[in-house]
Amino acid sequence: MNQASIERKVVIVTGGSKGIGEEIVRFLAKNGYEVILNYNSSEHRAKQIQKEIYDNYNNNIHIFKADVSKREEVKRLVNFCIAKFNKIDVLINNAGISEIKLFTQITDFDWNNMLQVNLTSSFYTIQESLKYMISVKSGCIINISSIWGTTGASCEVHYSVAKAGLDGMTKALAKELGPSNIRVNSIAPGIINTGMNKQFSDEEITRITEEIPLQKMGSTLDIARCIKWIIEDEYTTGQIIGINGGWNI
């Protein structure tokens, strides 16, 4: 381990191979953070991002395959981080899936899978990270939830439930972990321009954005900038920060 890696903040970003997670990885690496990009299926893309970041910012990020819906794989991810850097300063729970279905058509598999990937994964990553964070009385945890966790989305009940659960976890854990100097916050995006929204036609996107006061989708950079702010802040905890162009006013 070299001196630089001891001083730089170490961040795990789950689901860092696409969309919002990819931008968070890029933005933090550009700003000198030591980043572990977690991916599940998109290995080729993860390697491309790693190379792009090295070429552009001379920062050698690490990539690690783990399905965060599985406890054993999460353990391997966090153990990799501790073995490499002997610490984890920041955990960003970004990995997620979405699905549009009538409530009456959601199967037991759909329900369980949604909760496992979007909610239980954070139970695993946070528990495993706390084994280190509590011992040093320092840490920052950021959960990427969704506007739908607060307002509810028609035809996305299981998704809304998972994200509402994540926000509940954020608030409860902020209280439990505050005395250990560990901050826990959610970022709840509105609609962000990523592959997750590729099922919407251009007409549907136009109809959605007309409902948003700022009249546009958010960008992945909007989320990444807020992530950096939360990491660098020292007094914000238990908050659900809506980045949604005013959609929920």
Q: Output 67 or 110, the one with its CB closest to ligand NAP.
A: 67
Residues binding ligand NAP: number (CB under 6 A)? 30
Sites for ligand NAP among residues 53-112 (CB under 6 A): 67-69, 94-98
The partner residues of 188 in beta bridges, in order of sequence, read 242
Tokens 């931008």 sit at which residue? 23
What is the torsional sign of CA 220, 223, 224, 225?
A: positive
> Where in the sequence numbering do the catalytic residues fall?
159
If the CB atoms of residues 64 and 132 are measured against ligand NAP, the closer one turns out to be 64
Does residue 39 belong to the site contacting ligand NAP (CB under 6 A)?
Answer: yes
Number of H helices, E strands in the chain: 10, 7
Contacts to ligand NAP from residues 139-178, by CB under 6 A = 144, 146
Binding of ligand NAP at residue 180 (CB under 6 A)? no
- Taking the C-alpha atoms of residue 28 and residue 11, their distance in angstroms, rounded to an integer, is 9
Host H or E run for residue 192: none
Binder of ligand NAP out of 11, 13, 15, 122 (CB under 6 A): 15
Side by side, the strands of the sheet bearing 34-39 are: 62-65, 34-39, 10-13, 90-93, 139-144, 182-189, 240-243
Q: Buried (b) or exposed (e) across 3-17, using 16+ Cβ within 10 A? A: eeeeeebbbbbbbbb
Nearest distance, CB of residue 175 and ligand NAP, angstroms: 23
Judged by beta carbon, residue 19 or residue 139, the one nearer ligand NAP is 19
Return the residue of 9, 11, 21, 177 that touches ligand NAP, per CB under 6 A.
Answer: 21
| Closer residue to ligand NAP, CB minimum distance, 69 or 129 | 69
CA atoms of 100 and 191, how far apart (whole Å): 15
Binding site for ligand NAP (CB under 6 A): 14-15, 17-21, 38-42, 67-69, 94-98, 117, 144, 146, 189, 191-192, 194-197
